[in-house]
Structure 1
Amino acid sequence: MTVPLLLVPLYVHPGVAPDAWRAVAEAGPARVGAVVLNVADGPGAAPDPAFAEAGGRLRAAGVRVLGYSDTDYGRRPHAAVVDDLLRYREWYGVEGVYFDQASAHPGALGHYRRLATAARAAGCGTVVLGHGTHPDPGYAEVGLADLLVTFEGTWDAYQDLVPPVWTGRHAPARFCHLVYEVPADRAEQFAKLAGGHRAGLACAVSGPGPNPWDTEPLGLRR
């Protein structure tokens, strides 16, 4: 069984959950494809030394670090989103960006092309669009995003997921699934299901909403 790499949205302060941050860094790039650093639904108003240290530890371990920016489904102004990623680059040295709450509608494609272009011009080597659902196929076009998060939801809903046919035209490494409320004893079942859904990256946690991403992923410590 091929186990998907982890994309870890570790949305908890390093001072609150130091063991989780340490475990992700120790797992290294063989298990962790990237970690999303979310200071305050964005970079925050000023640099946070604890996040800077935690991000530096991840980079030293060879794990990519992505800055988090909420795009409000295409409604947030381009300049505000770009300001987020510039601050993340300056304060935390991130290597990529996670554009969350990304629109799935084809009418917003131009907006996200401009954001992806700005991110790469700012030095972001990895651009992720967090749709949370399968978007219009145009979002998978070459040169837009490196990775699409095409599912974010509960374990119960994930078991009923049927990926659209167009996803089969792309490599699994282009897709990521984020699943919460996964029973602790279902880590292997989740990995098998994610592989069957053609997700090259994935993350499962046992916590519920509204922020289930405050603990380390299931199956991290192998």
Structure 2
Amino acid sequence: MSEPASRLLAAPVPACVPAYFHPGQGGDAWRRLLAHPPRMVVLNLGDGPGEAKDPAFPPLVARLLAAGTEVLGYVDTDFGLRPVAEVRADLRRYRAWYGVRGVFLDQTAAGEDRLGHYREIVDGVRGTIVLNPGVYPDPRYADLADVLVTFDGPLSAYKAMREPAWARSLARGRFCHLVHDVPSRQLEPTMRRAVRFAGLAYATDRSGPQPWGDLPAYHGRPLVAG
């Protein structure tokens, strides 16, 4: 029997934080992130590892790893259109420059026709593999990844999300949901919904074309079970 809704948030919700911000851009996002290190962080230096090693990031990654956070490198796959060689070159740069322990493949295709392309990308890749189609894809994508991001979008769309039957047979830890445009008053209801479907979840009050470009105002706020 599933847990009653009033007990679902008795423990912290493991978070996967898309850290698409630079320590030199102003603000205190990295200080706040390190003060409350999450379960997983996605490192993004501009839709990938950048053209050269950025000296600001290795000490930050080291502190996250020391805190037990899993750090993944962001790579854009352009919905299966980006060549395999380019994607794998980005993976090598992340490992060589920043010592990340896995990869977050963004803009992943969801259809059957691109499965072979992604099999080639992940073949032999060490560490945690996260695929982000942002929707529930062809179920065979689950064979290629440790975690599937099956929602990535605004709260308005999240309320209408439906889980397909095939996903119910897999452990919740195989899924992650990323929700933006979540005001403070909606944070706990959103997380209660998330833990029904995903073992990793993250919500932000940010909006616009890049809602992951800063931390939400409520980052680090404890979620109390009602």
TM-score (norm 2): 0.89
Report what 2:5 is aligned to. Answer: none
The 1-side partners of 2:31 and 2:121 are apart by: 32
Q: 2:19 aligns with which of 10, 31, 48?
A: 10
Q: What SS does structure 1 have at the residue aligned with 2:209?
A: coil
Aligned partner letter, 1:204: A
Match of 1:61 among 62, 67, 70: 67
**Higher-Rg member (1/2):** 2
Inter-partner Cα distance in structure 1 for 2:61 and 2:219: 22
Look up the SS of the partner of 1:112 in the other structure. helix
Match of 1:119, SS? coil
Q: Which runs of 5+ in 1 are unaligned?
A: none
Map of 1:184 onto structure 2: 184
Q: Which residue identity is paired with 1:8?
A: V
User: 1:209: Cα distance to partner?
Assistant: 2.3
4+ aligned runs moved over 4 Å, structure 1: none
Q: Which residue of structure 2 aligns with residue 139 of structure 1? A: 141
Query: Partner letter of residue 176 of structure 2?
Result: C
Match of 1:45 among 43, 51, 69: 51
Contact 1:8 1:35 in 2 (8 A): yes
1:78 is aligned to 84
* CA deviation after TM superposition for structure 1 residue 51, in Å: 1.9
Query: What amino acid is the match of 1:128?
Result: V
The residue matched to 1:36 in structure 2 has which SS? Answer: strand
Question: How many residue pairs get matched?
Answer: 212
Structure 1 SS opposite 2:41 = strand
How much does 1:219 deviate? 4.9
Partner of 2:42: 36
Residue 128 in structure 1 maps to residue 134 in structure 2: no
- Offset at 1:27? 2.3
Structure 2 spans left out of the alignment, 5+ residues: 1-7
> How far off its partner does 1:57 sit?
1.6
- Residue 17 of structure 1: how far off its partner (Å): 5.1
Residue 6 of structure 1 aligns to which amino acid in structure 2? A
Equivalent residue letter for 1:5: P
Aligned-partner Cα distance in 1 for 2:64–2:151:
25
Cα distance in 2 for residues equivalent to 1:65 and 1:44? 16
Q: Is the 8 A contact 1:25 1:63 kept in 2?
A: no
Output the TM-score relative to the length of structure 1: 0.90
For 1:17 and 1:52, the matched residues in 2 are separated by 19
The match for 1:201 is 200
Shift in Å at residue 53 of structure 1?
Answer: 2.1
1:159 aligned partner, one-letter code: K
Given that 2:195 and 2:201 are in contact with CA atoms closer than 8 Å, whether structure 1 keeps it comes out as no
